């Protein structure tokens, strides 16, 4: 009996040694508008349609991260540790940490923009952290057409017509819809991003943190295959037009190089479901 | 009932001596109760009962929440406000339901009954999981106008609720999942299966009158049962039953799917307890069953996506004589389940 226990213990220790040959990848998200930094409220930008706009709120889900190797193989981050809600208003959410990444060289990263359809329809106990509709995810969920809002941008534009009940020139883009379940189909606005690290050597070392940057261009919601007129579409929340904005924002992410450790005070970063 | 009491006693004993290992096992708390059983004449439930086991403590917590006005922004209305037991958990007499500050909603509240057999919820099927249903009325500005986040905060600060959460789920933690699962547990126990019709089909010594039996036959012959199918009296599909758009242009299912072919379609409601759940239709436009049958006989309007069953051989609606209508209504009233409507276990004590 004692011998057996010793054997089990030594096997466990061996496994542990293997398990330690992993490092972490930190991704620092930098929200921008074209070539300018995104500054909430106080800065005015112009979209491709020529409309002026200021952004008061910008936040989005990214999930289901995969890291690509040169030979085409991938490391898939375990799903429960792979949901993040990035909020411009909260710098600590703009720094996410993927843990237990096998050491080695990686050439790219891919992820889902939004929440995959399976998790969008999952049971309530599977909706933890940033997916908790009565917690962190409270402002990113539609209760009446059950599903997450993948990307949310709000702000003001002088081009918004003051018609109907509108008291202020406000625009709101709340884009979601995961496709529905079974025979109950809806629009599917889930998009994916796949970014190459180019010539950068992104190497994950055991017990170390490798830091990379991703730029998120908020103006891409409005510019792209459809140049959105804020005047004509000041409020898009679901609805057929949401497809055009989702097609646009599918291109809003770009790789932004290797990064250094952020100065203290920028938050500790978030792991998994932003718990 | 005795079993329920026994379970509660086990729970009470277990909550006192914290260190006793046999009591830290949650399965001892989670004993099954007779609160939910599948009626003999019903199909298998579609709700995943294995992922949210119904327990006496869970049902008790869910019932407390259902009757608690703190779920609304200003503590003025509870779920029970628009879902009142004597009327099969509907908003009695209201065409569309009233919410907070007497704001008026856009739809007639559906009965809460037999939800374990439903795979979509609300008139438009916007929610596909019972556990996520309560978030919609809580957060609708015309209904409870609150956020789930705030509701949970209120419950965490309450002196009673954390204990109730512990009894139901093992610890005092108030979480989204537990809150919603407790409400589901209570709502799942609202099973209506003891109408005269049920006792008749189960051969439990109940007979139906000649008119009721004729109505039962007509219900099938005239095609009512094509949509109001099976023992749940619904096929759970979304259909346009030809309501005139002159009273409103609610897109129904089309609002959810954005698909033009779903415009003006609504969930086929169950007809159980239909005799007490007036008014009828998604907007409550008909106040009597007579008006409903008159609609199917003479009032069907050709609107986009009208269900083909309501336009056969070029004729709109379902031809019925006055006598046939009366017999069908007599049959529909056999679906009224007095035991369900008066069951004291469903009420907050």
Q: What is the ipTM of this complex?
A: 0.85
Q: Which class for B255: exposed (0-12), middle (13-18), buried (19 or more C-beta within 10 A)?
A: middle
pLDDT tens sequence across A26-63: 999 999 999 999 999 999 999 999 999 999 999 999 99
Tell whether A181 is within 8 A of chain B (Cβ): yes
Query: Which has more pLDDT, A245 or B82?
Result: A245
pLDDT at A4: 59
The answer on pLDDT for B27 being more than 50 is no
Count CB-CB contacts under 10 A for residue B4. Answer: 18
Contact: B258, A187; criterion CB under 8 Å: yes
Cα–Cα distance measured from residue B15 to residue B94, given in angstroms and rounded to the nearest whole number = 44
Mutation for B interface: A144, A175, A240, most B CBs within 10 A: A144
Nearest-CA distance B325 → chain A (Å): 34
pTM to 2 decimal places: 0.87
**Residue of chain B whose alpha carbon sits nearest to that of A146:** B127
pLDDT at B11: 35
Print burial letters for B228-239: b (CB count within 10 Å at least 16), e (below 16).
Answer: beebbbbebbbb
- In the structure encoding, which two tokens stand for residue B122, read together? 């609300």
Instruction: Kindly state the average pLDDT of the residues B47-76.
Output: 95
Contact: A184, B257; criterion CB under 8 Å: yes
pLDDT tens sequence across A153-163: 999 999 999 88
pLDDT at A274: 57
Of B120, B149, B256, the CB nearest to A186: B256
**Measured between beta carbons, which residues in chain B are less than 8 angstroms from residue A123?**
48, 51, 129, 131
Tell me the CATH class for B209-333: mainly alpha
Contact: A143, B122; criterion CB under 8 Å: no
**Measured between beta carbons, which residues in chain B are less than 8 angstroms from residue A121?**
128-129
Q: Which CATH superfamily is domain B2-192 in?
A: Cytochrome c-like domain (1.10.760.10)
The closest of B87, B81, B79, B100 to B280, measured between CA atoms, is B87
**Residue of chain A whose alpha carbon sits nearest to that of B122:** A144
Q: Give binding residues of B for heme c as ranges.
A: 79, 82-83, 224, 227-228
Cα–Cα distance measured from residue B143 to residue B76, given in angstroms and rounded to the nearest whole number = 11
- In the structure encoding, which two tokens stand for residue B18, read together? 């914290």
Torsion of CA B117, B121, B125, B127, to 10 degrees: -110
The answer on pLDDT for B138 being more than 80 is yes
Strands (E), chain A: 22-33, 36-37, 45-46, 52-68, 74-76, 83-87, 95-102, 104-106, 108-113, 141-142, 147-156, 170-176, 178-181, 184-188, 191-196, 202-204, 209-217, 235-237, 253-258, 270-271
pLDDT at B123: 96
pLDDT band at B22 (very low <50, low <70, confident <90, very high): very low
In chain B, list all ranges with CATH 1.10.760.10: 2-192, 209-333
**Measured between beta carbons, which residues in chain A are less than 8 angstroms from residue B122?**
144
Tell whether B236 is within 8 A of chain A (Cβ): no
**What's the mean per-residue pLDDT of chain B?**
89
pLDDT tens sequence across B118-130: 999 999 999 999 9
Alpha carbon B40 to chain centroid distance? 20
Report phi then psi at A130, rounded to 5. Answer: -70, -10
Contact: B258, A186; criterion CB under 8 Å: yes
Instruction: Kindly state the average pLDDT of the residues B314-324.
Output: 97
**Measured between beta carbons, which residues in chain B are less than 8 angstroms from residue A239?**
258
Q: Does a cis peptide bond (omega within 30 degrees of 0) precede residue B279?
A: yes
Nearest-CA distance A96 → chain B (Å): 24
The answer on pLDDT for B13 being more than 70 is no
Contact: A143, B131; criterion CB under 8 Å: no
The answer on pLDDT for B349 being more than 90 is no
Cα–Cα distance measured from residue A214 to residue A204, given in angstroms and rounded to the nearest whole number = 17
> Is the Cβ–Cβ distance between B239 and B227 less than 8 Å?
yes
**Measured between beta carbons, which residues in chain A are less than 8 angstroms from residue B126?**
144-146
- In the structure encoding, which two tokens stand for residue A61, read together? 């889900």
pLDDT tens sequence across B252-307: 999 999 889 999 999 999 999 999 999 999 999 999 999 999 999 999 999 999 99
Tell whether B8 is within 8 A of chain A (Cβ): no
The closest of A231, A250, A241 to A151, measured between CA atoms, is A250
Tell whether B45 is within 8 A of chain A (Cβ): no
Contact: A123, B147; criterion CB under 8 Å: no
Domain ranges (residues) in chain A: 22-271
The closest of B180, B56, B205, B190 to B115, measured between CA atoms, is B190
The answer on pLDDT for B5 being more than 60 is no
Of B51, B125, B176, the CB nearest to A134: B176
């Amino acid at each position: 009996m004692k011998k057996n226990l010793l054997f089990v213990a030594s096997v466990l220790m061996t496994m542990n040694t293997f398990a330690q040959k992993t490092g972490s990848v930190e991704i620092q998200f930098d929200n921008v508008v074209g070539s300018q930094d995104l500054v909430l409220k106080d800065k005015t930008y112009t979209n491709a349609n020529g409309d002026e706009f200021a952004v008061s709120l910008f936040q989005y889900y990214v999930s289901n991260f995969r890291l690509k190797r040169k030979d085409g193989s991938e490391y898939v981050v375990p799903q429960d540790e792979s949901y993040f809600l990035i909020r411009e208003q909260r710098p600590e959410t703009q720094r996410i940490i993927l843990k237990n990444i096998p050491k080695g060289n990686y050439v790219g990263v891919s992820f889902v923009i939004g929440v995959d359809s399976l998790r969008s329809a999952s049971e309530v106990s599977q909706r933890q952290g940033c997916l908790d509709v009565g917690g962190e995810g409270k402002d990113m969920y539609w209760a009446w057409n059950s599903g997450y809002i993948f990307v949310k941008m709000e702000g003001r534009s002088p081009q918004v017509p003051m018609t109907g009940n509108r008291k202020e020139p406000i625009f709101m883009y709340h884009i979601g819809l995961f496709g529905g379940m079974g025979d109950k189909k809806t629009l599917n606005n889930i998009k994916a991003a796949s970014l190459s690290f180019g010539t950068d050597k992104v190497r994950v070392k055991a017990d170390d943190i490798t830091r990379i940057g991703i730029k998120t261009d908020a103006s891409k919601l409005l510019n792209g295959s459809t140049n959105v007129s804020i005047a004509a579409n000041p409020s898009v929340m679901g609805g057929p037009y949401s497809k055009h904005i989702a097609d646009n924002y599918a291109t809003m992410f770009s790789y932004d190089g290797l990064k250094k450790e952020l100065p203290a005070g920028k938050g500790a970063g978030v792991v998994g479901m932003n718990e | 009932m005795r079993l329920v009491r026994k379970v509660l006693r086990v729970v009470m004993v277990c909550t006192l001596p914290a260190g006793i290992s046999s009591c830290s096992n949650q399965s001892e708390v989670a004993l099954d109760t007779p609160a939910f059983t599948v009626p003999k004449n019903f199909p298998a439930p579609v709700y995943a009962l294995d992922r949210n086991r119904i327990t006496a403590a869970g049902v008790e917590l869910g019932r407390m929440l259902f009757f608690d006005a703190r779920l609304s922004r200003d503590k003025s209305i509870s779920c029970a406000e628009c879902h009142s037991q004597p009327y099969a958990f509907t908003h009695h007499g209201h065409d569309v339901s009233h919410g907070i500050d007497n704001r008026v909603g856009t739809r007639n509240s559906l009965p809460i009954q037999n939800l374990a057999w439903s795979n979509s919820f609300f008139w438009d099927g916007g929610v596909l999981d019972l556990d996520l249903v309560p978030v919609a009325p809580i957060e609708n500005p015309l209904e409870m106008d609150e956020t789930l986040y705030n509701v949970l905060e209120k419950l965490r600060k309450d002196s009673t609720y954390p204990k109730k959460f512990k009894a139901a789920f093992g610890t005092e933690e108030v979480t989204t999942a537990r809150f919603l699962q407790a409400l589901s547990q209570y709502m799942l126990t609202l099973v209506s299966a003891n109408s005269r019709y049920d006792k008749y089909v189960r051969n439990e010594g109940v007979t139906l009158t000649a008119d009721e039996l004729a109505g039962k036959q007509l219900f099938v012959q005239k095609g009512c049962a094509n949509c109001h199918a099976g023992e749940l009296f619904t096929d759970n599909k979304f259909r346009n039953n030809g309501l005139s758009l002159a009273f409103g242009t609610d897109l129904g299912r089309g609002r959810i799917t954005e698909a033009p072919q779903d415009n003006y379609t609504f969930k086929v409601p169950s007809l159980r307890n239909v005799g007490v759940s007036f008014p009828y239709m998604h907007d409550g436009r008909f106040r009597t069953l007579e008006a409903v049958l008159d609609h199917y006989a003479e009032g069907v309007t050709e609107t986009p996506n009208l269900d083909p069953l309501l336009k056969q051989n070029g004729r709109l609606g379902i031809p019925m004589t006055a006598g046939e209508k009366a017999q069908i209504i007599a049959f529909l009233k056999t679906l009224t389940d007095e035991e369900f409507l008066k069951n004291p276990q469903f009420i907050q004590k």
